[in-house]
Amino acid sequence: MLAPGVVVVDDALSAPQVEALSSAIAGSRLIGDSQLVGGFVTTRGFGLACHASAVTDAVARAPFLSAFVDVALDPALRQRARPGDVVDRVLGAFFADVTALYLNVLVVPPGGAVERHVDATLGVVPGDPRTLVPRVVVALYVDVPADLQGGRLRLDRDGVLIAEVEPRRGRLVCFDGRLAHEVTATTASGPRVSCVAELYRLPRSRLRTLPRLRVQSNGFADVLQRLRGD
């Protein structure tokens, strides 16, 4: 079940690219308890926040994300997710289409879930009452266990379900950043792994409050804790 504002592509990356991404994530020391709060408590992963001008530097911290980032930043994909947004098209002709992005590797273990929310990882600043959401959100399923039950992406507008996407390895989903969404509880022999990109057009006043590049990871803390325990 799909609706305007939701795009699904099954061949955005090749099978070898997805396999290489899967292997790199599995071996990455950046993976740890989730750096996100609230409804992500049962998940694991890491995040990279950056200005659009620092994408190259961000990818250098996790080179295996390069192919995913290239696809996520494709303007044609964003246009398909927000086809009728005339104001955005006009602004995009005069200003940067994307000024900041948040990359998140999301690992949902068996039994895990993600509660309903609207993405705004870079859109909340202390002291500013405005909450800015991404223009679009792009997600790529990297690992989907063959015996997975649940783990579906459910999207709604104003509390009304408009789309439900079944996870499939290599499947890419792009949706309007204003949509609320959740990941249903999973039952499987292994984790459901995805890469997510929140793409923002933040005004300059907001950009000045954000570091040019920030790595968010509890993975190294996990390594240190294990070493101390040994």
pLDDT band at 219 (very low <50, low <70, confident <90, very high): confident
Provide the pLDDT for residue 228. Answer: 57
Please give the CATH number for the structural domain made up of 6-229. Answer: 2.60.120.620
Closest CA to 108 of 190, 46, 163, 180: 190
Sheet strands (E) in 3-120:
6-9, 32-33, 44-51, 100-108, 114-117
Q: What's the distance, CA 35 to chain centroid?
A: 13
pLDDT in tens, 143-202: 999 999 999 999 999 999 999 999 999 999 999 999 999 999 999 999 999 999 999 999
Q: Are 218 and 29 contacting, i.e. CB atoms less than 8 angstroms apart?
A: no
The ranges assigned to domains in the chain are 6-229
CA atoms within 13 A on the CB side of 55: 20
Closest CA to 209 of 108, 97, 132: 132
Provide the pLDDT for residue 94. Answer: 37
Please name the amino acid found at residue 168.
Answer: R
- In this structure, are strands 153-157 and 160-165 parallel, antiparallel, or unpaired? antiparallel
Percent of the chain's residues with pLDDT above 70: 88
For the entire predicted model, the pTM comes to 0.90
Query: How many Å from the N-terminal Cα to the C-terminal Cα in the chain?
Result: 50
Instruction: Tell me the average pLDDT of the chain.
Output: 89
